[in-house]
Structures are given as structure tokens and as C-alpha cells.
Chains A and B, each alone.
Chain A
Amino acid sequence: MLAELVQFLFAGLTAGAIYALVGLGFGLIYNASHVINFAQGEFVMLGGMTTVFAAAAGLPLAAAVAVAILVTVAAGLALEMVAVPTRNASVVTLIIITIGASISYRGAAQAFFDKQFHTLPSFSGEDPIDFLGAAILPQTLWVLGITVLIVIALQLFFHRTLLGKAVLATSHNRLAARLVGINVQLVLLLSFGLSAALGAIAGVLITPITSTNFEVGIMLGLKGFCAAILGGLGSGVGAVVGGLLVGLIEAFGAGYISSEYKDAMAFGIILLVLFFMPSGLFGKRTTERV
């Protein structure tokens, strides 16, 4: 019983950590530009796929990961330069632009890489670790550990560095930030770049467990959007809590109720939460924004 519970718990936390990273990416871009970036999942896909192909070309894993993050960041910066300057664009128009970008990224991955499923070797072996009777893959610990490190690093960045504070200031009031001399254009580029990097890292972390192909970004992007909305759009704490919740609901739903309906349960609970809390769990109350 306990072993089963622990097993589901870790499965949920692992998926949840990835959703949290994607959700944080949504929040970063939303705060800086008020754009909901539907290409966020494609950053995850680009991170995983580029690492696979760079490694296959002979690069050591660490170098392949670095290349993948650079490529994905470049994709993010390109999106910023193309999408954000669009004048007179309504929210829906901007959503369609990012959906166009997501289709382009998928199309590019399909054309320049391929349509097959690929996996990466785990960072430190495949032998499961026995923990309270549950079998935990070492990669799970990598996912959780790196996610925790990233969340701490972001927290420090936003509260201890001038640049981080400039990003926060821009997210609260772009005009006022410009008036006090913050380079808003730089902040926008930084937010898109950082968001893309988070996605790429999530993609590299999850590929050894779930494998990747050019279409994995669709579902991961949607789940990350769920995480961001469930937590309250733009809230950093919200994205992390939302991501973990979505992951846990899925894992326990699949384990104890029905594996076919695990996604439906996640979406159903988000609908319920929104009905009673129309701006997510941490939407209004928090003053802290990532």
C-alpha cells in the first residue's frame, strides 16, 4: 500500500516539476509582455530534440545540452522580436501569433530533425533506487533536484539582483519602469530568453524518462498552461504549486481511479477551481511575481 502510494507520489512530483518549469516559463513571458506564449511547450521539445541530435552528432552530453539551451534561447528571442512589437494587436491576435510560432517550431523540428521518438541516456544510470518499497529512477531525483535549484535561483535572481528587480518592476508597470530608466526592451528579451531556457532544461530532464519527438510540446505546453492558470497567471509560487498539483492529480488519478481519464481529471479539477476562484489559487492574493 505504502509502496504504491510512494510510487505514485514520485511519479506525480516528477511530472509536476516539469509542468512547474513550463508554467514558470508562461508566467515569465506573461509578466513581461502580457503575451500568453502557446509555443512554450515547443521550447521543451526543442530542448530535448536538439540535445538528442547534438549528442548523436558526437558531442558529449553536457555540450549537447548547452547547444540545445542556446538553440532554444535563440528561438525564444526570435519570437520576442517578431511577436511583441506587433501594434494594435489584441490578446487573441497575440495568441494566434504564438500558435503560429509553435506550428513553425514543430514544422522545423520535423523538417530538420525527424518524426521518430528519441530518448537520452539517464544522467546517472538506470538502476532504480528502492525507497519505502517503491522503485525510484535516479533520473527522477535529477528532475526534482534541478527543479528545486532553478526555483531557488529564480527567487534569488528576482529579489537579490538589480536586473531581477528590473524585471519585477516591468511586470508591475511597464511605463513606470521605463520612467525610472529600466531598459524595457532588454527586460523583454531577457524574459523570453529565460523562459525558453527553462523550457529547454525541462525538455532535457524529462527526455530520459518519457522520450521525445517533434509533437511532445503540445501536451506539455497545455499542462504547463494548466499549471500557470491553476496557480494564478504570473505568480511564481502559483506556477510551482499549480504544476505539482496537476502532476499529482494525474498520477493519483491514473493510479487509483482510471488511467484513461487522468488528463480529464486534471482538466476537470482546474475547471472546478476556476469556477470558485476565477483567478487561480494565488492569482490576486500574492504580491510576489516571478
Chain B
Amino acid sequence: MLKVLASPRGGGLLVLIVLIALLPLGFQNNFHYDVAIRVGFNAIVVVGLNLLIGYAGQISLGHAGFLALGAYASAILTGSHDWPPVLAMLTGAVGVGLLAFVVARPVLRLKGHYLAMATLGMGMIIAIVLNTESQLTGGPDGMSVWVSFGVAGLEANTPRQWYWLVGALLVVWVWLALNLIDSPFGRALKAVHGSEVAAEVVGVDTTSVKVTVFVVSAVVASLVGSLSAHYISFISPQEASFFHSIELVIMAVLGGMASIYGSLVGAAILTVLPQVLTAFEDFEHLVFGLVMMAVMIFMPKGIVPSLGLWLAGRARRPGGEAAP
């Protein structure tokens, strides 16, 4: 056990656990909890998305669509049909998983910008359907989610309860993801990223690897969508918007592609930065765009890998590994 925690992989996880445990000591009000919870939600989605984008090298500009479908499944099933929240959430996740499985095969045959276009189109179609089928979804006005989330009598109602729930889920998911990328499946992912032909040659079933990671990332997005619907108590088609999809990709790329901890950093920065930038008032969006460009120009590999390389260079350990 100690050995595991001392390893670079376990060490990072330990830091994460300590951070999540100690963070509330600095919180002064519910707003701080709220921001932290949103960071957690985003981080969970982005870790999943990073498996697809960073590790397997397949871009998706439509994952907000999956997130929104999960959110609407929970809202509709718990609201209009009185399903228990967990059952609604799992049903949504299974539905999204099936949808992702069906579209993954034709979509993931595409490469580069064509893949970007196809996933973008898929996300847009989901957003348009949610906007239009108003008798089911409430249309552009969105819908309220009255039922609070809970399992077996334990309910999450206060920000504090949500914080510990999201924190625990994040730790478990990060632990799973770290193990996944260090498994044969993870090595297959990286092989697909390097060269699909080469991966095929050494016996990797590239199609099934790509489809699996696409479905996993979609299901994770759907689960987070369900949870956040209960947390925020309100959903609208904005969840599925192109910009939301882009935001998730930006978090993954800004933090660092193929870096689990990078995803956490990216999610934290992109969630907190707009709150800080409101000080710029009218110039908020201008400054936000410029900050994004500057980070990508000076750290093209993303924040965590770039800092990792820099630290490794300073320590003059040429073999020094960048953060996983």
C-alpha cells in the first residue's frame, strides 16, 4: 500500500485526496463550494474526454451533447415519471452508451478535421432536438429538476454534501483512469494515437479500441450530466451547445493532452478563470480569449506536460518523466 502511494501515479492521487480533503478549510461561503463542485463535475468529464482526445488522438467537438442527454434523461425520468434518481441516471447512461456505440463506428472512421466536423454535427443535432421537442424538454426555456439526488435514503442536498460526493467520485474516476492508461488497453490507446496502421500491424483491434474509449467518455459525460442536473436543479439546451463542447475540449487541451492531472488543472482553470475575469467587466471575453491564446502559444503541449518538461529540464534529469 505504501509503495503504491509513493509511486508517481499513487503520489499524485494522494496529493489529490489531500487537496480535496483540505480545500473546504479555505471556503468561506457556499459560492466557494459551488465553484469547487463545478470544477469537480468538469474535471470528471474532461478526464474521460482526455482519454479520447489526448490518449487515443481522436477529437470530439460534440461531447456536450452526451452530457445534455444524460441531464435530460434524469430530469424527464425523475420529474415526469417518478423514477428514482439513480435508476434514471443509469438508464440515461445506458441510452447514451448505446447511442455513442452506434455512431462511433462510422464517425471514428473519419480523421482529423472531418472527425471534428462529424462530432460537431452530431452535437448540434442533439442540441437542436432538445431545443425543438419542447413538449418533452421544455424547449429553449429548459426545465427544472425538483427531485434531489440520493441513494438508499442518503440524499445530497447541501453544497457541502455535494462537495464530498463529487470529490469522492473524482478520486475514484482518476484512480480508474490512471490504471486504465497503464493497462494493455491504455497502451493500445497510445498505439492508436501513434499510428493506426502500426497498431493494426502489432495486433491492436483499432476500431474496437476507438469505439470503446468513445463510449466510455460519452457515458462519463452522461453520468456527470445527470448529477449536475440534480445539483443545479435546472437544465436547458445550452448544456448541449457547441460552445459547451468546445469548452470541455479547451479544458483538456489547456491542461495538457494525454495528462490526467492536466485535465484536472484545465478544468479548474477554465471554471475559475471566468469568475475572476468578471472584474474586467466589458473586456472579460477579450481578456479570456487572449489568456487562452497565450497559454497555448507558450505551452503548446498544455500546462501540466509543459511544466513537467520544464521541471525535468531544471532538475537535469534527462529521463525525467512528465506527469502522467
Q: List A93-122 residues whose CB lies under 8 Å from chain B.
A: 93, 95-97, 99-108, 110-111
- B113 pairs with A229, CB closer than 8 A: yes
B103 to chain A: closest residue by CB: A271
CA distance A95 to B53 in the complex (A): 13
CB distance from B291 to the nearest CB of A (A): 8
CA distance A47 to B183 in the complex (A): 52
- B128 pairs with A82, CB closer than 8 A: no
B139 to chain A: closest residue by CB: A260
Contacts of B297 in A (CB 8 A): 82-83, 86, 97
Contacts of A83 in B (CB 8 A): 293, 297
- A103 pairs with B285, CB closer than 8 A: yes
Contacts of B282 in A (CB 8 A): 110-111
Question: Is B204's beta carbon under 8 Å from chain A?
Answer: no
Interface segment, one of A67-75, A143-151, A262-270: A262-270
CA distance A278 to B114 in the complex (A): 7
Q: List A222-249 residues whose CB lies under 8 Å from chain B.
A: 222, 225-226, 229, 233
Query: B121 touches which one: A89, A100, A110, A270 (CB < 8 A)?
Result: A270
B253 to chain A: closest residue by CB: A96
Chain B interface, number of residues (Cβ within 8 angstroms): 46
Question: Is A25's beta carbon under 8 Å from chain B?
Answer: no
Contact size range, A = 35 or more
- A101 pairs with B285, CB closer than 8 A: no
CB distance from B189 to the nearest CB of A (A): 16
Question: Is B300's beta carbon under 8 Å from chain A?
Answer: yes
CB distance from B308 to the nearest CB of A (A): 14
CA distance A93 to B111 in the complex (A): 16
CB distance from A201 to the nearest CB of B (A): 24
Question: Is A87's beta carbon under 8 Å from chain B?
Answer: yes
B112 to chain A: closest residue by CB: A91
Query: A274 touches which one: B59, B110, B284, B286 (CB < 8 A)?
Result: B110
Contacts of A260 in B (CB 8 A): 128, 131-132
Query: B250 touches which one: A99, A268, A271 (CB < 8 A)?
Result: A99
Residues of A within 8 A of B (CB): 30, 36, 82-83, 86-93, 95-97, 99-108, 110-111, 218, 222, 225-226, 229, 233, 260-261, 263-264, 267-268, 270-271, 274-275, 278-280
Q: 12 more A-B contacts (CB under 8 A) besides A93-B301, A110-B282?
A: A88-B300, A90-B257, A95-B116, A96-B250, A97-B292, A99-B292, A107-B283, A107-B288, A271-B107, A274-B110, A278-B111, A278-B114
23 contacts between A and B (CB under 8 A): A36-B113, A83-B293, A86-B296, A86-B300, A92-B249, A93-B300, A93-B301, A96-B254, A97-B292, A99-B250, A100-B289, A105-B289, A107-B283, A107-B287, A108-B286, A222-B124, A222-B242, A229-B113, A233-B114, A260-B132, A264-B128, A270-B117, A274-B110
